[in-house]
Structure 1
């Protein structure tokens, strides 16, 4: 499991506890780990994570000295994972880990290398929902896909595939980029309906209009990149291919 955290003192203890209890108690899950990147938080997030680490050796904390953005934080968290499958989510409590119940059988059956949670009803405000819908529609058009929730961060991806992605986003566009990069490699996302809830506490770490501008610029960049790939100006790296493994297998 990999997640970014920035000024999440109001949520991080409840989130990590929820994840730990689910992963440790689920009969279908073998080895597990939780990797959280503390993205230069200026509240008590770092201290809370350090305290949680004392009672949870499976928790790995990556600390940034200064805030570098959600994209850099999720990339760092992914890089520090070691197991065969990685679950991506936020640390603000909006994505219940119990959503994973709907994924496990399909992952174990080897149905795909990449699964994405499609939010049944987004708990964000209307402006955020409209912005996400618009950017998702444009992203689908540019990539020739028809995903219901292009921007969802709740994903379950084969570890070697995810760790091989050269992620570039610095802000809140990391989920959009991950969807696009896996699509570039010719892999199809399997979407599974999930629950989405309001933040547990605190406030968003980015402003709406600045975020909307950055999202528009980044989606445009991904579209331009897609065009360059089709023309052969850019070359895709080799995608890793490994035999499917049972999630219950102890990987270390």
Structure 2
């Protein structure tokens, strides 16, 4: 089964159409949809309650206060019942049509690969956000050597058991390829095309990311350097 994890905060208007798209994309596949409501103060709860009454495979996980996107993703991962977790943002910019493509890419890559990471083409963000992301990605790629052009894309597929083993910190969701490599697994990529946000504005802004970005980057670099050997582990029985 595939668990689709959608972190969101105050995205009621976008969830109203986004969840229909998720259902259409995942039709015919064993799946569940987990919306992690990160302390929303809008009608997110009402939108989800109405949809859950229809019997769709939808679960509502709620934070009693906003803890950030990374914490919301993590709550969804630990609630997941599927063997693969596919993540996407709740603002409508990620196209759900890529959800099965990411899950299939991860499965086809074999057990040596731990993540299928979306990489955005034709970005629809503001110029300032695009420039800041481009610079951050170049610096990250140079230091972490994670072979990923765009680690900030919300569309990713990861084996659930591996996802739960990754070291957690705020901003963690932007470094998943590097953290997966640290555990001894490879990365595959799927090019995706972003869409414009239909309603509202971003709840996790540039300053929120940039203020801590250098410290986060150094922290992941340190974690990578402190684990140089990942042994294969087998149990040998005697008798």
Instruction: Place the TM-score, normalised by the shorter chain, in its bin.
Output: 0.7 to 0.9
Encode CA deviations 1:50-105: one digit per residue, 9 max, x unaligned: 22111144111111111111111110011111111111111111111112354455
Partner residue, 1:227: 225
Asked whether 1:9 is paired with 2:8, we answer no
Q: TM-score, normalised by structure 2?
A: 0.86
Structure 2 CA distance for partners of 1:193 and 1:53, relative to 1, 3 Å: same
**May I ask how many residue pairs the two structures share in their alignment?**
229
Report if the CA contact (8 A) 1:151-1:179 is conserved: no
Rate the CA distance shift 1:197–1:240 in 2: closer, same or farther, 3 A: farther
**Root mean square deviation, CA, Å:** 2.3
Q: Which has the higher strand share?
A: 2
Bigger CA drift: 69-78 or 145-154? 145-154
* TM-score normalised over the length of structure 1: 0.82
The whole-number CA distance in structure 1 between the counterparts of 2:152 and 2:46 is 30
- The answer to whether residue 138 in structure 2 is matched with residue 140 in structure 1 is no
Q: Say if 2:121 and 2:194, in contact at 8 Å, map to a contact too.
A: yes
The answer to whether residue 105 in structure 2 is matched with residue 106 in structure 1 is: yes
Summarize the alignment of residues 41-52 of structure 1 with structure 2, pairs less than 5 Å apart.
41-52=40-51
Alpha-carbon spacing, 1:181–1:104, altered in 2? closer, same or farther (3 Å): closer
Q: Which residue of 1 aligns with 2:67?
A: 68
| Alpha-carbon offset, residue 143 of structure 1 | 1.9
| Conserved 8 A contact 1:139-1:223 | no
Q: Name stretches of at least 5 consecutive residues in structure 1 with no aligned partner.
A: 242-252
Q: Using the alignment, how far apart are the partners of 1:228 and 1:103 within structure 2? A: 30
**Matches of 1:207 and 1:108 in 2, distance apart?**
33
Deviation sequence 1:17-57 (CA, Å, 0-9, x none): 21112212x4xx2x100011100001111221122111144
Hey, what's the Cα distance between the residues in 2 that align with 1:156 and 1:229?
23
Q: Secondary structure at 1:93's aligned position in 2?
A: coil
- In structure 1, distance between residues paired with 2:198 and 2:150: 22
Structure 2 distance, partners of 1:192, 1:73, is 23
SS of the aligned residue for 2:194 comes to coil
